[in-house]
A and B are shown apart, each in its own frame.
Chain A
Amino acid sequence: MSSRGRQLWMPGALAIALCALAAAAIDHQAFKETPLSDCASCHRTSGVTENHGPRFGQEHRLLAQKAGNNCGACHQQSYCDDCHRGGSVGDIQKGLSRRGEPMPHPSTYVSFHAIDARSDPRSCKRCHESQNFCSDCHEKEIQQNRQGMDIRPHAPTFIAPGVPDPNWVSFHSADAKRNLQTCQGCHPQKTDCSNFQCHPGLGGR
């Protein structure tokens, strides 16, 4: 922080002067050491709104995914990995997971992570790619009979022996149509379906 703290108070005139020299320059290499607070002084007259605002952490993906983006003019790739891939060469002032992994969430995030997981279903996946990330904790908790840990119960329910609940049938059908690959994650064989009475005609392996 100490070096960054000093950078914060570099004179804004420097940034303005560099802007003037650069004119319509796209390469921001010259501004690498300029504090973010000075960016506005150039951008407000350049016709391109500064983009590193307070929610840039949530917004940056669209810019980062552009071909030929200029993120690399200031940031090394480790800057991405230190949030997205559990790196920590640049900053140790982050939360710690139960495995000691540095993470951008607070250490108490396990308490309410399910709320965020529901709020933006794809956002978790941007960093946590493997299903083991969930099951590593959840399966242990399920084994200890903790309620609410089986994320989505979907075993068949019956209204009478041999008669499945129509509500379950509807749910099961829609789910299978929506994303059969999801089902196949746990039930990879066709016999997982055809062995039951429901789909005797499926045949095959």
Chain B
Amino acid sequence: MRHSRAIALIAAAAALPSPLRAADFQVTSSTQILGYSDFLSPAEPNQGSVAQYLRLNVVGLDDKNRYNIYGYGRVVGQFTGQILPDGDAYGRLYYLYLDARDVIPDHFDLKLGRTYVPQSAITSTVDGGYVNARNLGLRGLGLTAFGGHKVTYDNLAEVGNADDLAAGGSVYVDLVRRTHLEASYARKWIGGDYAQDFASLDVNTVPFAFLGLTGRAKYDLGESRWAELLAGVSLTPFDPLEIPLVIKGEVIVERPSFDQFSFYRYFGVARYQEFGGALEYEVLEGLRLNARYAYENFAGANDDVDQHANVIEAGASFRRVRNLVVNASFLNRNGFGARLSGLRLNAAYALGKLGLLAGIDYDDFRRDLARTDTSKRYWAGANYEINKNFTVSVHGEDDISYLFTHTLQGVAALVFHL
């Protein structure tokens, strides 16, 4: 079934743009050998796989570059270990679609095939279509619509039913300068049965040069309650003084609802609230600092239990030395259910055709219902451009956690660009 669907997609994409000319083929292939550890296979934790990724862009199908085809997929097979059945290879088609821009000039865009549709009401990968009708009578007034088979990925392959569907659309207005207003609606069916539908109203605007505002109100029609309310502000008050400081604030309330098959039906989460503030500051060219505080509030099944956590984050990015980038970040979360302190440190250095990378992840945590422990990850990698078409990349790491004293994992890849 899945094979026939893929063939149909390819055939549809190939058949549509009839005025074929000498199109440009852009190919990226990555052949990877992976070694990793499976803590759920204690008898044989060391596993090995080979993965083949292929990204293909066929651009310029017509002389105005309005019609392009984009595809991306992979095949994975395991040569040692127990996760995949012997001899089986698993494929995943991420996308394969015809992208038609300005089918009606300045008015109509179309995507046809398997594509990712990021929309406020429901975001989904669909085997179907997406249209964007722009400047409908008024410049800045538009409509979008999408629909098709809903694609669900699970681990290495696709899951779901042939009659899992998603469809929706939106009306948007860009009539006021630097202001976008969009109302969207989408519905999802699982196994042919209604699963969820949402309506969302989104706005973002920059009324003044120093002020940006964002808002979202998303309503869950199936549950008859608000699913998400969000208000955000971004300030750059000192720009006239050439002080590069960005101040951000955000308030969000979420009430997750989960359909019959979704991930979170296991969790007893009734309401989540977050009040956050952040600062970003460029101390001098090539040195940026950032910090964030968030107050998280949770409600369980009874919806009236006050449980909270405080989150503090800080980070720095250093680019003062030519070809060297160093990033560091720290997170501390303390409160409901757990305490977590995490440190991330990574660096990249380019030396001609050779790129070197390395990093450390360190996490110290206490989970009230489980354990108090630390986990550490030390990693290093390198890329080397053999020529303009071929690059080799390697990545290795040592993981230390309660699962393994030391675990060596790694990937080696040969990347081909055309």
Contacts and interface: CB of A to CB of B under 8 A. Distances in A.
Asked if chains A and B come from one complex, the reply is yes
Interface string B70-86: 10101010100001000
Interface residues of A, number: 90
A62 B252 CA distance: 13
A2 B170 contact: no
A93 B379 contact: yes
A119 B132 CA distance: 35
Given A81-B95, A121-B272, A148 B401 contact: no
A157 to B, nearest CB: 15
B348 A5 contact: yes
Contacts of A124: 263-264
Interface string B164-208: 000000101010001010100000000000010000001010101
A89 B53 contact: yes
Interface of B is mostly: strand
B25 interface: no
Contacts of B212: 48-49
Interface in A106-158: 106-108, 110-112, 114-115, 117-122, 124-126, 128-138, 140-141, 148, 151-152
B13 to A, nearest CB: 14
A184 interface: yes
A68 B174 contact: yes
Interface string B42-74: 000001010101110100000000000010101
Nearest to A3: B385
A80 interface: yes
Contacts of B256: 121-122, 125
A184 B260 contact: yes
A185 interface: yes
Contact of A112 (B268, B322, B363): B363
Contact of A87 (B94, B268, B375, B399): B94
A133 B154 contact: yes
A131 B340 contact: no
B236 A148 contact: no
A49 B246 contact: yes
B296 A114 contact: no
Contacts of A120: 254, 272, 274
B264 A125 contact: yes
17 contacts: A1-B383, A2-B350, A2-B354, A47-B206, A67-B172, A77-B72, A80-B116, A85-B92, A87-B72, A88-B32, A99-B83, A99-B155, A112-B363, A125-B256, A130-B152, A151-B267, A152-B267
Given A107-B407, A126-B123, A130-B152, 17 more contacts: A1-B350, A2-B354, A8-B325, A37-B319, A62-B202, A65-B120, A67-B119, A77-B72, A78-B72, A93-B357, A93-B379, A100-B76, A108-B400, A122-B254, A138-B266, A178-B303, A182-B258
